[in-house]
Amino acid sequence: MRYPVEHKEQTHQRIVRAASRRLRGRGSEGVPIAGLMRELRLTHGGFYRHFSNKEQLYAEALADGFEEVGAMLVRAAEQAPKGHELQAIIDTYLSEGHCGQASDGCPFAALVSEIGRQPRAVRTAFESALRAHTRRIGRFLPGASEEERERTFSLLFSGMAGTLGLARATSDPATRRRILEGAREMYLKAFS
């Protein structure tokens, strides 16, 4: 079959989006190519018309995930009253919604402990996607220079990602809420 010119690019994006969600929701072992393609009503063979291998898919899926969560945080910050941007970001990141919906959330939180064990190509892609993400969010963080804001970003987001990991591992909902609430308070105080 011959498809319209935009068709391939659309399919490519659909695969990346679906992979990004699965990657964040189920982890790096939770994205089998056949299952992914079936979800999109395609067959696994076609995958290799779009990506040379799975690592390339992961690289693009990571960037996509960071863009999505970045947009979410920027929106929260821009809608917050003047001077409360940081609080809005922290509250959004450590919300029960973000905790419960890992597949739509931050790839860093979803994969903190796995990234270091990924193949080099994936780690490199992660690092550059994170760098882009840092630039997008950095302007809402305290700090005189860009370098200082980047360090603040690292500390704040790595801490919050760990907390999300703990909250997601906690089975009791009340305990989970208490963890999130305590963390929101602590990080706001520590970074204001």
If the CB atoms of residues 57 and 167 are measured against a copy of itself, the closer one turns out to be 167
- In whole angstroms, the minimum distance from the beta carbon of 123 to a copy of itself comes to 6
- In whole angstroms, the minimum distance from the beta carbon of 111 to DNA comes to 16
**CB 86, CB 142: distance < 8 Å:** yes
Pull the structure tokens for residue 82. Answer: 């003047």
Start-to-end C-alpha separation, the chain: 58
CA distance 20 to 43: 18
**CB 33, CB 54: distance < 8 Å:** yes
Q: Which residues contact 63 (CB under 8 A, 6 or more apart)?
A: 125, 128, 129, 132
Nearest to 18 by CA among 2, 10, 74: 10
Using the rule CB under 7 A, which residue among 13, 35, 75, 155 binds DNA? 35
25 binds DNA (CB under 7 A): no
- Tell me if residue 30 falls in helix, strand or coil: coil
Binding mask 78-107 for a copy of itself (x = CB under 8 A): ------------------------x-----
144 binds a copy of itself (CB under 8 A): no
Pull the structure tokens for residue 9. Answer: 């690019």
117 binds DNA (CB under 7 A): no
Using the rule CB under 8 A, which residue among 7, 49, 75, 117 binds a copy of itself? 117
Pull the structure tokens for residue 64. Answer: 């996509």
For residue 126, the partner it binds in DNA, a copy of itself, none, with Cβ less than 5 to 8 A by kind, is a copy of itself
151 binds a copy of itself (CB under 8 A): yes
Pull the structure tokens for residue 112. Answer: 């903190």
161 binds a copy of itself (CB under 8 A): yes
32 binds a copy of itself (CB under 8 A): no
Using the rule CB under 8 A, which residue among 29, 41, 83, 174 binds a copy of itself? 29
- Indicate the burial class of 141 (C-beta count within 10 angstroms; 0-12, 13-18, 19 or more): buried
> For binding to a copy of itself (CB under 8 A), which residues are involved?
26-27, 29-30, 102, 108-117, 123-124, 126-127, 151, 154-155, 157-163, 165-171, 178-179, 182-183, 186, 189-190
